[in-house]
Homo-oligomer: A and B are copies of this chain.
Amino acid sequence: MSISINNILKNNHTVKVNGSLWLEAAEGHFFGPGPVELLERIAETGSIRMAAKEMNMSYKKAWALVNALNAQTASPVVIPQTGGKKGGGSTLTAEALEMIAYHRILRQRFADFLDQETQRLKK
């Protein structure tokens, strides 16, 4: 038996199970959806500033995220270069790419879980 939550809600409002996932270390949160997307875009654009701009995030916040991330990893996962050919830029280490790939898979499994629970709601 399952509860018909949908019947409890107002007319034609269907309910969905949704959520958020992140990795957590001793100091708390450290790798949620925001940082992941940022890393992905840094990989694409080669620049923290452009990555931030693309996702409508302030450079300040982006820089803080990158900094926090680098502070919690054994070695920095984002390698910044100030000055140089195009003024500078940032590249990702292999570890960062690994983390991105892992997170992609994790997200998929989570999405499946959410779908499953949402389906269950309708019975």
Contact = CB atoms under 8 A, between A and B. Distances in A.
Given A3-B99, A106-B117, A109-B117, A73 B25 contact: no
Interface residues of A, number: 37
B21 A99 contact: no
Contact of A19 (B3, B14, B22, B101): B22
B74 A17 contact: no
A18 B18 contact: no
Interface string A1-32: 01101011111011111111111111100000
Contacts of A11: 74
Given A10-B73, A13-B26, A15-B25, 17 more contacts: A2-B102, A5-B99, A7-B74, A8-B99, A9-B72, A10-B72, A13-B25, A14-B25, A16-B23, A16-B24, A18-B21, A18-B22, A19-B19, A19-B21, A20-B20, A106-B117, A110-B113
